[in-house]
């Protein structure tokens, strides 16, 4: 009886080991399937978030470009009409664009600083319109420089027009920036950053 018990005990022990091994393998398979499912769900969620952010970025880009066409462009046109009425003429597209500093601009037109200062001090309504317009352009630019709107899509839609408009009012931007000596406190940094970004990218595209 004892011999028989030992014989079957060994068989039972082997069966238990095989069963335990099978159960462990089964658990590993289940764990892998569970992990694969989790990874798939995580990737799907991540893709959904990325796609949603991309859609939101494109929507914001379209919104900003429409704002530029509908609000900023007319403001710049109105400014030039006001300039014309008081005899203040900016020669469009003659400026060599540099660091938006008055020192550099002064080399191109020595009389412009005095004329600009006189205009803005004697025509407060024009000064107000100019500052309001530039503030709108700065707000527009922030959406792109801070990654809220898509710079590549924006450049294709409105980049050339934006550059042209900035170049037309370049002396006025330089004049207002010259009113603050501290570089960190100067106005319209985002406006300038976006201008340089799109100017650079356009040159790359044209090569």
Instruction: Note down pLDDT in tens along the chain; length 207 residues.
Output: 445 444 444 444 455 444 555 556 566 666 666 666 666 666 666 555 556 677 888 888 999 999 999 999 999 999 999 999 999 887 655 677 877 888 878 888 888 888 888 999 999 999 999 999 999 999 999 999 998 999 999 999 999 999 989 988 988 998 898 887 776 678 899 999 999 999 987 766 666
The pair of structure tokens assigned to 86 is 């008081």
Q: What secondary structure does DSSP assign to 44-85, as a single string?
A: HHHHHHHHHHHHHHHHHHHHHHHHIIIIIHHHHHHHHHHHHH
Instruction: Measure the CA–CA gap between 81 and 73, rounded to whole angstroms.
Output: 13
Is residue 158 within 8 Å of residue 65, measured between CB atoms?
A: yes
The upper half-sphere exposure of residue 161, i.e. CA atoms within 13 Å in the direction of its Cβ, equals 13
Instruction: Report the distance separating Cα 142 and Cα 37, nearest Å.
Output: 41
pTM for the full model?
A: 0.72
Closest CA to 97 of 200, 201, 179: 200
Q: Supply angle C-alpha 97, 99, 135, rounded to 5.
A: 90
Cβ atoms 129, 75 nearer than 8 A: yes
């Amino acid at each position: 009886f004892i011999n028989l018990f030992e014989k079957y005990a060994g068989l039972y022990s082997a069966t238990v080991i095989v069963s335990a091994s099978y159960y462990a393998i089964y658990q590993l398979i289940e764990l892998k399937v569970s992990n694969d499912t989790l990874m798939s769900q995580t990737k799907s969620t991540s893709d959904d978030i990325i796609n949603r952010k991309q859609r939101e970025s494109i929507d914001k880009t379209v919104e900003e470009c429409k704002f530029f066409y509908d609000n900023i462009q007319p403001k710049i046109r109105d400014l030039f009409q006001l300039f014309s009425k008081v005899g203040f003429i900016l020669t469009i597209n003659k400026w060599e664009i540099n660091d938006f500093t008055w020192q550099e601009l002064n080399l191109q037109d020595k009389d412009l600083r005095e004329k600009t200062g006189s205009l803005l001090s004697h025509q407060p309504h024009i000064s107000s319109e100019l500052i309001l317009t530039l503030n709108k352009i700065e707000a527009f630019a922030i959406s792109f420089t801070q990654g809220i709107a898509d710079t590549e899509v924006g450049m294709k839609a409105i980049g050339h027009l934006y550059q042209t408009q900035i170049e037309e009012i370049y002396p006025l931007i330089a004049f207002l920036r010259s009113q603050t000596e501290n570089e960190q406190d100067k106005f319209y940094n985002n406006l300038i950053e976006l201008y340089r970004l799109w100017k650079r990218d356009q040159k790359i595209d044209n090569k």
